[in-house]
Chains A and B, each alone.
Chain A
């Protein structure tokens, strides 16, 4: 009894069973498995002669779990006839060769996958090693792949590296230009880290060379993008604990136009893909980002966070509030209608010296 599966194909081998009743019994057991659902089933039968009624009942069994009996593999001419009469494809081959008949490839073995990945990443690997020869050992690479999973929390790079060191008992130091505040952060990700390690052990085998796997990530890019984001977001501040807390706020995505009278409140960041019409209210503990025209009232950092920002493609807000500061739109800007063009200059509002200032992103 053998089951092979790929994306859409599910092979059930019942070649060793000799009676029709047993086949149906075995089959009904195997179809209980979750894997068999919504698949094309390829049924391999031995020398058993099935009549039309029996094959029909098998077919209806398979239909019952939303799958289709696509082909039957049999040695018996009787069964072959019946199957052809029912419109089922028959592949009449011996049991030894039968696996080759499966149209699509089943999934790759772990070894193959590893080889392929290594081949694909050699270049990146080389570039990375050149640039980091002096400062980084393989541990950093280990940490980078993890960060790749969690792009939102950039400051975690160091943190994770710390953990990684602890796990692997390697205490080689490395120096990066990052600030030290980040290092003091939470270390409770140890468990997660261990879990990840176990997972990888399972996938690639415990003897696999882990470092080569971890190098799939592109550490150079990681560091570059981090610097870039730092420049855009908080040019005049050093990262402090509060900033990191802000960064780690959850974010709510809303893909709709916010209309008059609607209130959106969230204890985190809000991202709105759409316009915010006059008369709406958006309250966020963190940042507010509007991918559209912001014409309502926006209150960022409503929990008191002075470093929260409001960003919009077009800033036309009736009122802007950040933490405990508040400002209103100048009366001269009291336009009834804002033309929707293809070229907005995105704007960002933040607190400078206890006043809300709106900056053009270009500035």
Chain B
């Protein structure tokens, strides 16, 4: 069976495309699938940093395209998970170094040997975006519950619908802060879904652990205790076709809130019994 090519895109920068790619990729690899992460953000690559593979990169996507090396040579194996590979972008070049056809050729080749090919898309809707979506048949649109990010996501969904190869797309709502939603300071997950009229594949809560994990070069899914990590693991399971209920991200920080939640949980259990 041929692998699935999934592009992770957003339009707006800084919403967490790269973090999402690294974590979903790692989560899928943990569940036993063979995964290749392709960084198409040429000139502003970050995916290698998030995975802590920066010092291992010798050949890049551009080298493969320009036939200075074989595709296999450019795939960097993850430190911990042998199922996970990274095809890094060149830092010293720009987006025009690779065109859509060339990337499609590469993803088609990878499809034959790997279960999942995750393409990390650059921000924007220009050539870099068009290149990144070329080989993909599925898309994950990352957005945050902010008006600007939602607008950009809307634009991206429009472009994805117009694109030929994309068969399905799903929404991933990142950096959600339940407390702010409660106080009506932030759009709720449902609001975002309604505005974009698009099904969601995951809801990731805001987590300070993301910052430390990025700095350390280790994806947060490796940390089982982290809420965001668990949310990403669930996204990976949903991509796999499992029906996983959405995580209750409403975890109050103070003791009173925690007690209330615990009690309400007991009540529910009592009713069920």
Contacts and interface: CB of A to CB of B under 8 A. Distances in A.
Contact of B215 (A262, A278, A281, A336): A336
A260 B91 contact: yes
Contacts of A278: 54
A331 interface: yes
A328 interface: yes
A261 B92 contact: yes
A121 to B, nearest CB: 53
A326 B91 contact: no
B111 to A, nearest CB: 30
B52 A334 contact: yes
B55 A334 contact: yes
Contacts of A329: 55
A251 interface: no
A315 interface: no
Nearest to B91: A279
A186 B33 CA distance: 64
Contacts of B55: 318-319, 328-329, 331, 334
B56 A328 contact: yes
With a 10 A CB-CB cut-off, give which of A278, A279, A318 has the most chain B CB atoms.
A279
B92 A331 contact: no
B79 interface: yes
B54 A318 contact: yes
A357 interface: no
B92 A281 contact: yes
Interface residues of B, number: 13
A259 to B, nearest CB: 11
A336 B57 CA distance: 18
B209 interface: no
Interface string B67-109: 0000000000001000000000001100000000000000000
B217 interface: yes
Given A331-B52, A334-B52, A261 B43 contact: yes
Contacts of B52: 331, 334
A263 interface: yes
B58 interface: yes
Contacts of A319: 55, 57-58
Nearest to B215: A336
26 contacts: A260-B91, A261-B43, A261-B91, A261-B92, A262-B92, A263-B92, A278-B54, A279-B92, A280-B92, A281-B91, A281-B92, A318-B54, A318-B55, A319-B55, A319-B57, A319-B58, A328-B55, A328-B56, A329-B55, A331-B52, A331-B55, A331-B79, A334-B52, A334-B54, A334-B55, A334-B216
